[in-house]
């Protein structure tokens, strides 16, 4: 098996596959940890033991929504201040060179685009947008942030910002009393409930987006998985789809993944240095 060969040989094979072009990148939270954004299942996630908000809880409880938006209002500063790391920049450069045909990202942080990538499908949406659950209107998260600041004048100053633990979906761990004093806001157009334009746990990815990703995978010369444990079927299905069609799969991730058995080759290495090295190998 190629996986059992020396890393130098495997790295050379990966560089050759990437050089052939038509690469489709499937990226996960591990690609953004070097930008200071934690993941759920990697080392940073294990340290936090984070439990994500579910869709069912969010839509059924005013208290849950207050808790989410209070924590997210504080954590948003962590997301918006994050910068693309060497891994994001390397992927954008591969796209610029015409070698990457598309990027399917499970991340909601917008860092691929911030690095300059253009062909990005946000599988799970983006924290940079907000959607009304009643009228469906989408607005900027920056606009919501301004409205929440007005509705909660002085609240940020009173919270223990420096002590807050930031979770993977951009929320911050807060004390109960800090949450109870927070005021949410509704849709400015219809007064409906506002939700971040991301797919929560327990919520389905829009079918049209899934089909777009399947089609992109089918045209790939290589499916390159970056920083995903592939634990959730949402991303793992594209690995299975590629392998079933004899499309080579390569995985770069710190730690084992659910897709290792379908991969032609795997690399357990830090993403930023690895992708920088890949660019250098390509010349």
Q: Is 140 annotated as a binding residue?
A: no
Q: Is 165 annotated as a binding residue?
A: no
Q: Is 161 annotated as a binding residue?
A: no
Structure tokens at 255: 């730690």
Q: Is 187 annotated as a binding residue?
A: yes
Q: Which residues are designated catalytic?
A: 124
Task: Report how far Cα 196 is from the mean position of its chain's Cα atoms.
Answer: 14
Cα torsion 111, 10, 7, 105 to 10°: value is 20
Q: Is 213 annotated as a binding residue?
A: no
Q: Is 193 annotated as a binding residue?
A: no
Q: Is 113 annotated as a binding residue?
A: no
Q: Are strands 194-198 and 125-132 parallel, antiparallel or unpaired?
A: antiparallel
Q: Give CA–CA dist 262/247, Å, rounded.
A: 10
3-state SS string over 29-69?
HHHCHHHCCCCCCCHHHHHHCCCCCEHHHHHHCHHHHHHHH
Q: Is 106 annotated as a binding residue?
A: yes
Q: Is 32 annotated as a binding residue?
A: no
Q: Is 227 annotated as a binding residue?
A: yes
* Residue 2: strand, helix, or coil: helix
Q: Is 74 annotated as a binding residue?
A: no
Q: Residue 201 is inside which H or E element, if any?
A: none
Structure tokens at 18: 């990437």
Q: Which residues pair with 197 in a beta bridge?
A: none
Q: Give CA–CA dist 128/109, Å, rounded.
A: 7
Q: Give CA–CA dist 102/220, Å, rounded.
A: 9
| Residues in binding site for NAD(+) | 106-109, 227-229, 253-255, 271
| Residues in binding site | 106-109, 132, 135, 187, 190, 227-229, 253-255, 271
| Residues in binding site for Zn(2+) | 132, 135, 187, 190
């Amino acid at each position: 098996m190629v996986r059992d060969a020396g890393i130098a040989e495997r790295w050379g094979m990966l560089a050759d596959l990437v050089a052939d072009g038509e690469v489709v990148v499937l990226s996960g939270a591990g690609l953004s940890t070097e930008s200071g954004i934690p993941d759920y299942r990697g080392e940073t996630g294990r340290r936090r033991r984070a439990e994500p908000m579910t869709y069912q809880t969010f839509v059924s409880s005013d208290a849950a929504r207050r808790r989410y938006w209070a924590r997210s209002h504080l954590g948003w500063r962590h997301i918006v201040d994050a910068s693309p790391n060497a891994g994001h920049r390397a992927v954008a450069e591969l796209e610029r060179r015409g070698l990457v045909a598309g990027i399917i990202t499970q991340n909601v942080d917008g860092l691929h685009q911030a690095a300059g990538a253009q062909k990005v499908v946000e599988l799970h949406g983006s924290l940079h947008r907000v959607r009304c659950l009643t009228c469906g209107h989408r607005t900027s998260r920056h606009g919501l942030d301004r409205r929440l600041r007005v509705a909660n004048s002085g609240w940020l100053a009173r919270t223990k910002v420096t002590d807050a633990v930031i979770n993977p979906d951009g929320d911050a761990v807060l004390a109960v009393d800090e949450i109870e004093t927070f005021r949410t806001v509704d849709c400015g157009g219809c007064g409906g409930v506002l939700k971040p334009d991301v797919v929560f746990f327990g919520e389905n990815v829009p079918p049209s987006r899934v089909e777009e990703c399947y089609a992109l995978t089918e045209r790939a010369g290589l499916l390159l998985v970056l920083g995903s444990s592939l634990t959730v079927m949402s991303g793992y299905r594209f690995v299975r789809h590629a392998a079933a069609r004899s499309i080579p799969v390569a995985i770069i991730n710190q730690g084992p993944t659910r897709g290792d058995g379908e991969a032609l080759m795997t690399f357990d290495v830090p993403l930023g240095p690895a992708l920088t090295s890949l660019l250098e190998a390509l010349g």
